[in-house]
Amino acid sequence: MSSKQRIVDVLLDYWNEKRGDRAFPAPNEIKGSELSSVWDSCFIMEVIPQVRQNGYRLVYTGRRLSGDYENDQGTFIKNIVIGFLDSAKDKYEIVVDTKEPLIEEDVVIKPDHDLKFRQILLPLGEGEDVTAIFGGMRLRKDDN
């Protein structure tokens, strides 16, 4: 297991360890008990193939992303992230299409604070098909 602290580094090291020489690990190989330092900041999305575009169903959401934490304006953290991204679903499609990890880091500037955002999305699946996305995100508010 990684001795690194950033969620992106921890999850990428874990994912690489689990996949070995395969393109990606299977969803059932991801164990929260092996990721205790970051599990509360992780999520797993099931990919549901549809005729025109994939659908996604949230299978697991860590406590820090579930709406338990609110910012000073009463908006759930996950809603801030969804509003900040062009489209979360577009990001998932990139991971399904490329079958590669996607890492994002950015800063959202607000009048009274900056919101630093870091996210990783990792494909999971059986054989050649991506059947789920394993992700993690961290947010940090810096007062201006």
pLDDT tens, position by position, 106-119: 777 777 777 777 88
**Per-residue model confidence (pLDDT) at position 10:** 96
Spatial separation of the C-alpha atoms in residues 132 and 126, rounded to whole Å? 10
What is the phi/psi pair of residue 49, to 5°? -60, 135
Q: Please, what are the domains in the chain?
A: 7-143 (3.30.450)
Is residue 18's pLDDT more than 80? Answer: yes
Among 14-28, 77-91, 119-133, the range scoring the smallest mean pLDDT is 77-91
Listing DSSP states for 59-75 in one string gives: EEE-GGGTTS-B-TTS-
**Both tokens assigned to 37:** 């330092």
- Beta-bridge mates of residue 48: 55
Is the pTM higher than 0.85? no
Tens of pLDDT along 57-107?
888 888 887 654 444 343 444 454 444 444 566 788 899 999 999 998 877
Q: Which of 67, 140, 66 is nearest to 110 (CA)?
A: 140
**Both tokens assigned to 58:** 């949230």
